[in-house]
Amino acid sequence: MPTDTKSVKVKKLSQWPIAGRFGPYGGRYAPEILMPALLALEAAYQAAQADEGFRAELRRYQEDYGGRPTPLYRAKRLSELVGGARIYLKREDLVHGGAHKFNNVMGQALLAQRMGKSRLIAETGAGQHGVATAMAGAVLGLKTEIYMGQVDIERQRANVYRMELLGAQVHPVHTGTATLKDAINEALRDWATSVQDSHYLIGSVVGPHPYPQIVRDFQRVIGDEIEGQMLRKEHRLPDLLVACVGGGSNAMGTFFPFVDHREVRFLGVEAGGRGPDADAASLQHGQIGVLHGAKMRLLQDEWGQVSATHSIAAGLDYPGVGPEHTLYQEIGRAEYVTVSDEQALSAFQTLSQTCGIIPALESAHAVYAGMERARAMGPGQLVVITLSGRGDKDLETVIAHLGRQRSAGGQEQ
Ligand SMILES: *Cc1c(COP(=O)(O)O)cnc(C)c1O
């Protein structure tokens, strides 16, 4: 298979991946034992994509079960508060399960069923992807097993209960730091011995080819809907799209349908955490390396060991970022910035109080950066911020944090 992508002439950015890569990034750095499964997945995905029956079934689940299309809401009071561009919110917080994760999970679960698999395996950090996978397993009648680090299990009890209520089995992982990366290793180990009957359901635009492409294609429904809705409301395309970036799936789903429209600018927002020594800003502070089967920008030490990350938003707390984002950053197609824990908390409150929408802390990062940009733009300009999820899951974190802030200010206990 040709991997020298420099010799391939690319006319449009939407043509990527070519030979499993986005420019030099991506690829399939996987153990030999998984290669047959990855090749079979690639072939099955291509066949499914070409099958109108498959696409119609997915559409039916998206609409009747998932609640799509989600609204594109003109945030009038937020725009007035900011002054400047007109701000729209893409309401992925209203998707079944409370986040955009459903879009990809439902697509992959249907693909697994089509491939004749009877079992889904997935890893989860904060539990959001695990819950979405358990939902899809339940609705399709597929056995579902989720790997989760013991530390995360203790931090995210409610999501463990949710997964179990939905009929999934949660396997605690005790190796390493007992967090997400160790859970991924265990899931891969399981898959290596169970590929016959199991599908490994990856939750973001990461992993070996074809996962980054599959996840992007299932998430592009976000951007496709924005395009149609914007043309109906404003009779033109937006000027700026803003989305938070953990692994990068809600951002890629938002950006991708517009990638060949160079006049539509992209802003990806990474977790700035507590500052450069405690963040999860892979594109800002990472180096090129290989993580979970793909070449990408990631946070690592001088020996290539993956660094510990921090973000107040569990969904952004991942040391790598999808290969397609790594390419967009390098060629300047998208711009990436960081937003700190504190800034995200302030946007969390602002959105709650000016729009009556409590966003996920992940999404609050995008809201903060989107407001900053909109302020500097002209009143005729259009900004869309993707609200990747709702904030119910974050209430305890926020209350603990704001409570601390108040007592630090000496006003309240
Ligand atoms: C998981 C999650 C994210 C981060 O994942 P991406 O793949 O970067 O989109 C962002 N927001 C919410 C609400 C999430 O649950």
**Ligand 1 atom index nearest CA of 246:** 8
Q: Say if ligand 1 is within 6 A of residue 366 CB.
A: no
Instruction: Between 1 and 191, name the one with better pLDDT.
Output: 191
Q: From the CB of 362, is ligand 1 less than 6 Å away?
A: yes
Nearby residues of 119 by Cβ (< 8 Å), 6 or more positions away: 142, 143, 144, 145, 194, 197, 198, 199
Say whether 169 sits in a helix, a strand or coil. strand
388 CA from centroid of ligand 1 (Å): 6
Q: Which alpha helices (DSSP H) does 115-165 contain, by range? A: 128-140, 150-155, 157-165
Calculate how far, in angstroms, residue 246's C-alpha sits from the geometric centre of ligand 1. Answer: 6
Residue whose CA is at the smallest distance from ligand 1 atom 13 = 389
Query: SS3 for 240?
Result: strand
Token pair 């409150």 is found at 349
Of 89-93, 208-212, 249-253, 308-312, minimum mean pLDDT range? 308-312
- Let me know: does 155 contact 122? Beta carbons within 8 Å: no
Rg (CA), the chain: 20
Looking at the chain, the whole-number percentage of residues with pLDDT higher than 90 is: 85
Q: How far from the centroid of its chain's Cα atoms is residue 115's Cα?
A: 25
Q: Looking at ligand 1, which atom is closest to the CA of residue 253?
A: 9
Is 128 near ligand 1, meaning CB less than 6 Å away? yes
Split at pLDDT 50, 70, 90, the class of 408 is low
DSSP 332: T
> What residues have CB less than 8 Å from 367, skipping those under 6 apart?
347, 348, 350, 351, 359, 385, 387
Q: Is the CB of 247 under 6 A from ligand 1?
A: yes
Q: Which of 278, 214, 221, 200 is nearest to 63 (CA)?
A: 221
Return all residues near 67 (Cβ < 8 A) that are at least 6 apart.
94, 95, 96
Which pLDDT band, with edges at 50, 70 and 90, does 176 fall under? Answer: confident
Asked if 244 and 363 touch (Cβ cutoff 8 Å), the reply is yes
Q: Which two tokens stand for residue 410?
A: 């000496």
Positive or negative: CA dihedral 145, 150, 156, 160: positive
Bridge partners, residue 91, by sequence: 387
Q: What is the mean pLDDT of residues 61-86?
A: 98
- Find, among 169, 145, 60, 67, the residue nearest to 107 by Cα: 60
For 404, phi and psi rounded to 5 degrees?
Answer: -60, -45
CA–centroid distance, 14 to ligand 1, in Å, is 22
Q: Cα–Cα distance between 323 and 169 in angstroms, integer?
A: 31
Ligand 1 pocket check for 246: Cβ under 6 Å: yes
Tens of pLDDT, residue by residue over 263-312, are: 999 999 999 999 988 999 999 999 999 999 999 999 999 998 888 888 99
Which ligand 1 atom sits nearest the alpha carbon of residue 93? Answer: 13
The helix (H) or strand (E) run that includes residue 214 is helix 211-219
Ligand 1: centre distance to CA 279 (Å): 16
Query: Of 100, 133, 269, 361, which is best to mutate to test ligand 1, by the most ligand atoms within 8 angstroms of its C-beta?
Result: 100
CA dihedral (123, 128, 134, 139) in degrees, to 10, reads: -140
315 lines ligand 1 (CB under 6 A): yes
Check pocket membership of 98 for ligand 1, CB cut-off 6 A. no
Q: Which of 90, 92, 101, 372 is catalytic?
A: 101
- The CA-atom distances, in angstroms, between 161 and each of 166, 186, 318 are 9, 21, 23
The pLDDT of residue 26 is 98
Among 123, 219, 283, 316, residue to substitute to test ligand 1 (most atoms within 8 Å of Cβ): 316
Residue 388 annotated to the active site? yes
101 an active-site residue? yes
Among 204, 283, 318, 321, which is best to mutate for testing ligand 1, by the most ligand atoms less than 8 A from CB?
204
CA distances from 187 to 162, 190, 199, 202, 336 (A): 20, 5, 10, 10, 30
Q: Report residue 180 as tokens.
A: 């997400």
Cβ 184 vs Cβ 208: under 8 Å: no
Q: What is the pTM of this model?
A: 0.95
Nearest to 322 by CA among 237, 203, 195: 203
Which is the catalytic residue, given 79, 198, 249, 388? 388
Predicted pLDDT of residue 403: 83
For ligand 1, say whether the CB of 324 is within 6 Å of any of its atoms: no
Catalytic residue (one of 92, 123, 145, 270): 123
CB 388 within 8 A of CB 244: yes
What whole-number percentage of the chain has pLDDT above 70? 96
Helices (H), 220-306: 221-234, 249-255, 282-285
Atom of ligand 1 nearest to the CA of 128: 15
Measured distance CA(413)–CA(408) in Å, rounded: 9
Q: Is the pLDDT of residue 142 over 90?
A: yes
Q: Are strands 86-91 and 287-291 parallel, antiparallel or unpaired?
A: unpaired
389 lines ligand 1 (CB under 6 A): yes
Furthest-apart CA pair in the chain: how many Å? 65
Ligand 1 center to 167 CA (angstroms) = 23
The confidence band for 63, taking pLDDT boundaries of 50, 70 and 90, is very high
CA 23 – ligand 1 centroid, Å? 24
